[in-house]
Amino acid sequence: MTDIVNIPDLLPISQYPALGSANFNQEAYNYATSVPPAVSRMREVAVACRTCAIAAREQADAAMGYRNQAANSAAAAEAAKAIAQAAASSAETFKNQAQSAAASAAASAQAVDQYMLGPKTVPPTTDNQGGAIKLGAMYINVGTDPNLNNRWFWWGGNVLRWVPGVGDLPATFMPRGGGIFTGHIEVPQGATGNQAPRASEVVSRKITYAGIGANMNTLPLVNGVWSGRDWVNAPSTASPWWYVDQIVHEENYATQSAWGLTDATPKYFRIQVGGVWQAWRRFLDEFTFMERTKVVNIPAGTASYTPLQSEASIHQITINGPIAINMDAQRQLGDQVTLRITSAGGVRPITFSSNVALPSSGSGLMPFPSYTTGQTVTITLVCTRPAYWDAFYAGVHT
C-alpha cells in the first residue's frame, strides 16, 4: 500500500525586472534562472500531493473492503479523509502557484525575446512575435551583404531605424600585427618619429611620362618624377631617355636633377628661387680627372663616323678605308673632341662635315698633315660658335 509522503517546501523566485532598468539584462537573467528550479519544486509538491491522494484512495478502498468493520474504523477513516482533503487542498494551492510561475516565466522570456531578436539574414521589420520593434532592440546580421554581415545593430526608432553597434576597435578587432583597411584613413599634419605622415609631406614616387620631344624646362612639375624622352635643349644626346626628379623645400623653392640611362650621360641640376628656375648646370661626374677615351676600329666600307663628346673627349680611331668625320651640330660652346686617327693598310682619305672649320694659313686653308700607313694624326675640334667646330692640327706620330 502506498505511503503518505511529506510535502517539500517551495523555492523562492527572483523579482521580475522592471522595463528600462539599468541592470535589466542581469535582473532578467536572475529571474529567468530562478524560475525553472521553483517550477521543478512545485512539480515535486504536486507529485507529493498526488502520492498522498493515491494513499488516501488506497486507504479508502481498504475501508470499502472492511466495510463490516467500518463502525470500528470510522474514527480512523474520518481522520484519513481529513488528511486527504488537506493534501488535496495543498496540492491545488501548489498547482496554482506553479501555473502562475510558469506564466510569469513565459512573459519574461517573451519580453527578452522582444529585445534580443537574435541572428537575422536581413534587417527585421517586426519583432520575433510579429509585433512592432521596441526601442533598443538588437539583432546580429548573418546575411551575405558584406557591409552588414557579422555586425550587430540596435533599433533607434522610425527616424534612426537600425543603427550600427560598436564597430572595429584599435588593438581589439584590428590585429596588432597588421591589418587591411577597406577605406582611406586620415592623419594630422606635422608627423614626427613613428607617426604616419600626410601624403603632401613626403616626396612622391609617382612617375609622369613626359612624351617624345618634351621640353623639360616647360613641364609644370610640382612633386614627383619625370620620365621624358628626347629632351629638347638637353646638353647631351647620348641617352634618348632622361629622368628628372624634384624635391620641394617650400613654396617656390625647389631642386631638380636630371640624368640619362647610360654611364656616358652627364648629370645636371637646377634650382628654383622665389618661383624662378635658374639655368641647368652640369655635375662633375667623372670618376677621375683623366679624359675619357673611346677606342674604335672602323671597318672598310663604313663611310662616316660621328665622334660624340658625351661618349669620350678623346676618340682613338683606326680606319680601313676612306672616312668622313661628321660632327654633331647639337652642341654647346666650349665642347671639344680630340681625334687620333690611325690608317691601317695604306693612306686613307679623311674629310669633314660642313660644320667643321679647318685651320687657315693666312692665304688659304692649312694643308692636311701628311701621314703614312701606321702613323697617327691628331686633330682637336672645339665648339667656339653655335653648331660649328674649329679644327686644329696637332701633328703626326709614329
**What is the tens place of the pLDDT at every residue in 129-163?**
888 998 988 888 898 888 788 888 888 888 778 88
Supply the pLDDT for residue 379. Answer: 96
Q: What pLDDT, on the 0 to 100 scale, is given for residue 298?
A: 95
- pLDDT at site 214: 61
DSSP state of 170: T
Q: Look up the pTM and report it.
A: 0.39
CA–CA gap between residue 339 and residue 316 (Å, rounded): 6
The CA distance from 237 to 231, in Å, is 8
Q: Under a CB-based contact definition with an 8 Å cutoff, are residues 131 and 114 in contact?
A: yes
**Residue 292 phi, psi dihedral angles, 5° rounding:** -80, 135
What is the pLDDT at residue 52?
84
- % pLDDT > 70, the chain: 79
Please calculate the CA angle 17-23-27 and round it to the nearest 5 degrees: 40
Predicted confidence (pLDDT) per residue in 239-285, tens digit: 556 677 777 778 788 888 877 666 666 677 888 899 888 877 877 76
Sites in the chain below the pLDDT cut of 70: 63, 66-74, 76-77, 166-178, 203-242, 260-266, 285-289, 330-331
Residues 6+ apart with CB under 8 A from 112: 28, 32
Give one DSSP letter per residue of 189-248, joined into a string: SS--TTSPPPGGGS----EEEEEET--GGG---SSEEEEEES-TT-S--S-SEEEEEEEE
Residue (of 227, 196, 223) closest to 214 by Cα position? 227
Helix (H, G, I), strand (E, B) or coil at 94: helix
pLDDT of residue 291: 83
Average per-residue pLDDT for the chain:
79
CB 142 within 8 A of CB 152: no
Angle between helices 70-115 and 24-65 (to 10 degrees): 160
